Copies of this chain bind each other. A is one copy, B any other.
Amino acid sequence: MLRFDSDYLETAAPEIIARFSKIGEEQNTAYGFDPYSESAALKIAEACGKPNALVKFLVGGTQSNALLIDALLKRYEGVIAATTGHISLHEAGAVEYCGHKVIALPGQEGKLHAASVDQYLLDFYADETHEHMTQPGLIYISQPTEYGTLYTKAELTALRAVCDRFQLKLYLDGARLGYALTSKDADFNLEDIAALCDAFYIGGTKVGALFGEAAVIPDPQLLPHFFTQIKQHGALLAKGWLLGLQFDTLFSDGLYFRLASHANEMAAILKDGLKEKGYTFYIDSPTNQQFIVMENRAMAALAEKVGFGFWEKYDENHTVIRFATSWATKEEDIKKLLSFL
């Protein structure tokens, strides 16, 4: 069966598997104090243009979001996110479990626009009862968004300006950051992200690693005792070198970018093919996730031969479905998929 359900169907890129097979019975110090983690952290900090950044390796995305957001917020603060944001919907209330309200604002194409956040904040502070309400403390965005779309550098800069104006933090969920950075539409790079955000993570799980996310805090003073907080959240991996080794591999010789780039290229071929066949796109995505609107009976027929994601009901007779490509997607599989459509 052809599977395009997600970009984390495969175990890991061969380069990563290869490095694991080499370390054998080597002994390493636990909790991230091993040479692989140190090397990986340094490579990432440098790639971010922030050689002193705090870089810590975590296991998964929901964990990273809840931990970093909780660490960045004061107890009485909440986080502003798009209603379609991952933390708003699909993380089982992990942010609220840490005690923080998610203030969900409508976005467009998965994105929060600076102007509407600005207006929300102006209205908030104009409301004389605002001290009875959750204080906004942070803006959460994902890049690419849950719909594969991208914030431009100008849009990111505008959000940063809103943060500065109202003394909020800016946090970026980079579960699929590789696909954003290597998108043909990207007008930003990793240094821009690090310059604009108070914290973000570079996703490994969905970009070729076995598992793992690299949390980056450009200004290490911002989160004292972050190690303790990782432990407190149950997010500290005993054998930290398992993460370090992967990110060291991903950030050597541009592997992270190559893996992501391949997935984007495969998605572009798919997109062209879908366009040619006249499919309606739900959204115009320049990254590895493609969303189309499909008639329900056709969808059911397709589901017998192909794995894909049922995204949301479109209308009585149509559904939005998602195809995701990965570093392992082969062009022949795209062709096969197109032949079924």
Chain A residues close to B by CB (< 8 Å): 3, 5-6, 8-11, 17, 20-21, 23-30, 59-67, 70-71, 74-76, 78, 89-94, 96-102, 104, 123, 128-129, 131-135, 205-206, 210-211, 225, 227-229, 231-239, 241-242, 310, 313, 328
Contact = CB atoms under 8 A, between A and B. Distances in A.
Nearest to A78: B93
A233 B128 contact: no
Contact of A74 (B65, B97, B225, B237): B225
A211 B242 contact: yes
A135 B225 contact: yes
Given A9-B28, A227-B131, A233 B89 contact: no
B92 A231 contact: yes
B20 A225 contact: no
A100 B93 contact: yes
A110 to B, nearest CB: 17
Contacts of A6: 30
Q: Which of A25, A129, A205 gathers most chain B CB within 10 Å?
A: A25
A166 B180 CA distance: 40
A313 B219 CA distance: 37
Given A11-B242, A132-B90, A60 B236 contact: yes
Given A63-B235, A76-B225, 12 more contacts: A11-B25, A62-B231, A76-B93, A91-B232, A92-B228, A93-B100, A101-B102, A104-B104, A131-B227, A135-B228, A210-B239, A234-B234
Contact of A91 (B24, B71, B231): B231
Q: Which of A60, A61, A78 gathers most chain B CB within 10 Å?
A: A60
